[in-house]
Structure 1
Amino acid sequence: MSVDRLHPGLVHHIANTLGWSDLRPLQKEAIGPILDGEDTILLAPTAGGKTEASSFPLISAMASQEWNGLSVLYLCPIKALLNNLAPRLEAYAGWMGRTVGLWHGDIGESVKNRMRADPPNILLTTPESLEGLLISTKTETDFFANLRAVVVDEVHAFASDDRGWHLRAVLERLTRLAGRPLQRIGASATVGNPDELLKWLQGAGIGRRPGRVIAPGVLPVGSQIPENPPSGEIELDYVGSVSNAAKVIATLHRGEKRLVFCDSRKLVEQLAGWLREFGVTVFLSHSSLSVGERRRAEQAFAEARDCVIVATSTLELGIDVGDLDRVIQINAPKTVASFLQRLGRTGRRSGSVRNCLFLAIDKRGLLDAAGLLRLWGRHWVEPVAPPPGPNHIVAQQILALCLQEHRVGDRLWPGSWNGLKPFDAESKPILEYLVAEGFIETDGGMLFIGPNAEKRFGSRHFADLTAVFCAPPEFTVLHGREEIGQVDPSILIPEEGRGTTIILLAGRTWYPKHIDWKRRLCYVDPAEGEGSAKWSSAGLPTGKSFALAQSIRAVVLGEDPPVKITSRAEGALADLREKHVDHVDQTSLIIRRSKSELRWWTWAGYRANLTLQASLDGIARADGVSDFSLRLEDSAPNEVLSHALSDAVLVPPTPDVRAVNGLKFNDALPEELARATLAARLSDLPGAHQALRIPRHFASG
């Protein structure tokens, strides 16, 4: 039995302290590989026991093999998840006389200094805080000397954006500091390509370290026929407005605990305001609320019964919000993977089933939900893919390495990442630019931080260098001494003819009584009446993927997702199909010429259409790109268009100068490399290629 390999003291506490008669299949199957030092991906739905699957074998190894000092890092994408996991891991480690430390931006400096002097055996942190530790002059060189293993929770959340590139680079630098290969364990919900995710996690150790995916009971993606959809009570409804959604939520499932997901902070605030109007006990959670506000809401929600919490993806990950009855989704999440995370919040009680009610507040949201649920019904999940061309992360890492080491050999620096691409010698042009622009100085064959790096990133001990994502500037909102959250500064500028705007934040309305523009502070008092909420989004516009756009096309052609569809949703879908009747065909794509324009209905997704627009120079117009179509020059004859489409050579789009300026660390990059990064991220060459291969025909009217 694999359980027999665990330390007897740990087995005793599992049976007697937890009262568990047995471990789950994932937890049992993980014991042998983790104890044998293998890299692993632990795959299971939300609440599938992944934390114990990783921690039990590692804590057992600590005791059996007498690991000392800081032996295990536990990395999470968000602080709230770390806070949630800390008490559980403290209990498990405490059984064996081991300690756990929590390190992130909300932890006081005195606590951190104690951990620097006496490191815990397990440290829970984020990659950004870990980078801060590496570059800090307060961190002793032997702090990570005893490190043996790294657990990356919600690893899929890292792999799909720049935080993943940063994480992989930091893990290689840690490997050098520890002087040994580090065992890497990733915990993930269902993804479309778990084997590739394992290789991604292994980094420079691919092929040199054993690794495996452990996923008992998890069906391979696409393993079942569409007629046998995944289990769960899923319903799709169309309500037409935010207020109607609130009315449905207030009426349905009274006496139950309901978690409502919205995919924008503004929508969270609006829905919560309407729910309060209907007498519902409601709590909120999103990234622009203060830490105290979110914690109070999440704690109150966990302890209450007849209530609703409205959240963005902040509650999508494995944060415990107590015994949940229902999940409700407003419109649709962006991916099937996100839906699976949210669906996994329900059905945890014995005798209950996983459930989700989709409430579409507009026709576009209904199409999105239907297309996404059709993919889910086919057991399709997005493959996790790192964003291409991370040149800006290479620049950040070179600067961070110079801060960490103080002086780095001008020929030895590529070895700091153990050959991991693109952080190897091929990135030398980026180093040369950093030297030429004064970000890095050279002397006697050594590299060190230069004056421009001090000027650009040196404030607050180079704190800006630790985060690879770019957040728009926001104003902190204060009621007395209590921080409520943050808002976009544009909402504080009085509108002509209307005066000061009443702010909607934390589900309540506030009047801005004083604004400190220099310190970015807004002091407020409670207000009556309707308020406004606004936040700017960071990052590139990505739109719908090729797979989702094609699935929506199938819905428009008459295919329903395998879920319960209300009569209201059926009627709205019928209207949408009638609206798009001239835009779809069963066997080909339509290029429709009307009096006002010529439009190619590709149903290929935003990035694929943007790629097609860039590749059809002189044929496609820049002002007409959407998720489902692109506008063509209506003066071109059909024959010319046909030849242009048949002979098209695909090229990536040209990024806007504003997008280049918005790229984090862009000023530490040659402009051509910054543009190349954004061009690669705006393009979908495979999707554009598939769109060109689908037969097409011209239509008019």
Structure 2
Amino acid sequence: GKIQTLIEEHRSTLIFVNTRYMAERITFQLSEALGEGAIACHHGSLSKQKRLEAEDKLKKGEIKAIVATASLELGIDIGTIDLVCQISSPRSIAGFVQRVGRSGHALGLKPKARIIALTRDELIECMALLRSYREGLVDTIEIPEQPVDILAQHIVSYVSSEDRSPQDVFETFRRSKPYNNLEMKTLEQILGWLSEGLASSSRRGAYLHWDKVNDALRARRNARLSVVTSGGAIPEMNLYRVMQESDMSMVGTVDEEFAIESTKGDIFLLGNHSWQIAGLKGDVLLVKDLHGAPPTIPFWKGEAGGRTYELSGEVSRIRAEADVILSEQSEPDLDGDKDGRIWSGYLNPLEEWISKEFSISPEDARQAAEFLGAQKMALGVLPHQTRIVYERFFDETGGMQL
């Protein structure tokens, strides 16, 4: 429909989505409409080789569009992009600005983007994004104060390179802004964990020797290897590798639960390509190329990000302003409103304000006004950050739910 038309009207289109599941689903649907060779998929669960192939095809003009998650948001050269489409709200103002900026890179061109909301509630959030973008509001980057896990990793790294004293460690890390207020008592507690382990019954998690007599720290045998292989604060994901049975080449990764629940012979989609499961060997899902067969779409857990505080504030601001506009109107009597004129008259001031304030189409303004107006009629108020509404109802068994 709409996305297909936008792709056909432009030379190259970059379509951003928020999840890998959505990337696979939209790529599959667009391939059926535009032809298999017209579009590619790009996300973090595809192998590096598959991602590079998709990027190269877009640069050379071999495909008209690419559907991607945040994997194409930063630092990757994909050539000139005419249009960026954002499916659903990206849940952050900074993310939206970064994604829009992927288009119009050539001299004299301007970035060009379209946001496509999938629900009316999401439409309000997209309106908040547009106003934030226009007003120059961005998300605040908060620097954590004394994150203990990061400090522990850096202490192990620092001591692994050379024997140190606790005082040397203390003075060194106090020079870093997040640890300016670090106390010696806190450092000694962390050194205790790193030298004695987290559990009193075992030395598991012990990476340092702490000689309290000579006031010296030195690395244990496993410390240096742990620093090189296990640094960072990104949590480990339970992912299974997907590999072709014929040549053991890497295709990508899937969620552990999806791999275990699937059975031999099942066909699934990965990278806009159908694969048949040949078997499970350890943490490797062996597959066969089954080009063109109707597939299911795999799932990945915990991949949808939360909305930022600043964007939430802007959504709340819209609701508060809409509440004021609707409160100035007389409450409509809808019982005798057979042709909808009373309801339309009630919404008109809000609809006009939305069209003017957010520069969106009359159809979108109407949908947003109807959504907010219906909520106002049902509850009497519109909830926002300073007004919380608790809703109580009874389920099918008669139990009260809040």
TM-score normalised per structure 1: 0.45
The root-mean-square deviation of aligned C-alpha atoms, in Å, is 3.0
Q: Which amino acid aligns with 2:365?
A: E
Matching residue of 1:365: 122
1:551 to 314, 317, 320: 314
CA deviation profile, 1:368-390 (whole Å, cap 9, x unmatched): 21222222222211122123451
- Structure 2: how far apart are the matches of 1:477 and 1:392? 32
- CA deviation after TM superposition for structure 1 residue 345, in Å: 1.7
The secondary structure found in structure 1 opposite 2:114 is: strand
- CA deviation after TM superposition for structure 1 residue 487, in Å: 0.7
- Structure 2: how far apart are the matches of 1:594 and 1:544? 26
The secondary structure found in structure 2 opposite 1:472 is: coil
- Structure 1 stretch displaced more, 306-315 or 290-299: 306-315
- CA deviation after TM superposition for structure 1 residue 575, in Å: 3.5
2:18 to 253, 263, 267: 263
- Structure 1: how far apart are the matches of 2:140 and 2:271? 35
Q: Any conservation in 2 of the 1:477–1:483 contact (CA below 8 Å)?
A: yes
Distance change in 2, residues 1:293/1:287 (3 Å):
same
CA deviation profile, 1:505-542 (whole Å, cap 9, x unmatched): 1112211112112xx1111113311322211237xx97
- CA deviation after TM superposition for structure 1 residue 593, in Å: 5.8
Matching residue of 1:312: 69
- Structure 1: how far apart are the matches of 2:21 and 2:113? 22
Q: Any conservation in 1 of the 2:240–2:259 contact (CA below 8 Å)?
A: no
- How many residue pairs end up in the alignment? 341
Distance change in 2, residues 1:305/1:348 (3 Å):
farther
What runs of 5+ residues in structure 2 fail to find an aligned partner? Answer: 198-202, 323-349, 396-400
Distance change in 2, residues 1:323/1:563 (3 Å):
farther
- Structure 2: how far apart are the matches of 1:493 and 1:465? 26
Matching residue of 1:577: 372
Q: Any conservation in 2 of the 1:442–1:448 contact (CA below 8 Å)?
A: yes
Alignment of 1:529-540 (within 5 A): 529-537=294-302
Distance change in 2, residues 1:429/1:569 (3 Å):
same
Distance change in 2, residues 1:567/1:493 (3 Å):
farther
CA deviation profile, 1:417-455 (whole Å, cap 9, x unmatched): 36224285442221122223241212343212347xx3x
- Structure 1 stretch displaced more, 426-435 or 563-572: 563-572
1:415 to 160, 171, 195: 171
Matching residue of 1:449: 219
In the alignment, does 2:192 pair up with 1:432? yes
Matching residue of 1:250: 4
- Relative contact order (alpha carbons < 8 A, sep ≥ 6): 1 or 2 greater? 2
In the alignment, does 2:252 pair up with 1:492? no
- CA deviation after TM superposition for structure 1 residue 350, in Å: 4.2
Q: Which amino acid aligns with 2:166?
A: D
Matching residue of 1:278: 33
- CA deviation after TM superposition for structure 1 residue 258, in Å: 0.2
Matching residue of 2:342: none
Q: Any conservation in 2 of the 1:394–1:427 contact (CA below 8 Å)?
A: no
Matching residue of 1:560: 354
- CA deviation after TM superposition for structure 1 residue 253, in Å: 4.2
- Structure 2: how far apart are the matches of 1:413 and 1:337? 36
- CA deviation after TM superposition for structure 1 residue 326, in Å: 0.4
- Structure 1: how far apart are the matches of 2:108 and 2:55? 25
TM-score normalised per structure 2: 0.75
Q: Any conservation in 2 of the 1:553–1:584 contact (CA below 8 Å)?
A: no
Q: Which amino acid aligns with 1:483?
A: M
Distance change in 2, residues 1:586/1:410 (3 Å):
closer
Q: Any conservation in 2 of the 1:331–1:368 contact (CA below 8 Å)?
A: no
The secondary structure found in structure 2 opposite 1:333 is: coil
Q: Which amino acid aligns with 1:472?
A: M
In the alignment, does 2:275 pair up with 1:510? yes
Q: Any conservation in 2 of the 1:501–1:532 contact (CA below 8 Å)?
A: no
- CA deviation after TM superposition for structure 1 residue 475, in Å: 1.0
Distance change in 2, residues 1:383/1:494 (3 Å):
closer
The secondary structure found in structure 2 opposite 1:565 is: coil
- Structure 2: how far apart are the matches of 1:587 and 1:484? 45
Q: Any conservation in 2 of the 1:494–1:501 contact (CA below 8 Å)?
A: no
In the alignment, does 2:88 pair up with 1:321? no
Q: Which amino acid aligns with 1:547?
A: E
CA deviation profile, 1:589-644 (whole Å, cap 9, x unmatched): 254564559xxxxxxxxxxxxxxxxxxxxxxxxxx9xxxxxx6xxxxxxxxxxxxx
The secondary structure found in structure 2 opposite 1:522 is: strand
Q: Any conservation in 1 of the 2:195–2:209 contact (CA below 8 Å)?
A: yes
The secondary structure found in structure 1 opposite 2:142 is: coil
Distance change in 2, residues 1:499/1:465 (3 Å):
closer
- CA deviation after TM superposition for structure 1 residue 315, in Å: 1.4
CA deviation profile, 1:219-265 (whole Å, cap 9, x unmatched): xxxxxxxxxxxxxxxxxxxxxxxxxxxx3222224251000111111
CA deviation profile, 1:538-574 (whole Å, cap 9, x unmatched): 7xx9733343223223334256385542354334323
Distance change in 2, residues 1:253/1:350 (3 Å):
farther
What runs of 5+ residues in structure 1 fail to find an aligned partner? Answer: 1-246, 598-623, 625-630, 632-701
Identity of aligned residues (%): 22
Distance change in 2, residues 1:515/1:253 (3 Å):
closer
In the alignment, does 2:236 pair up with 1:471? yes
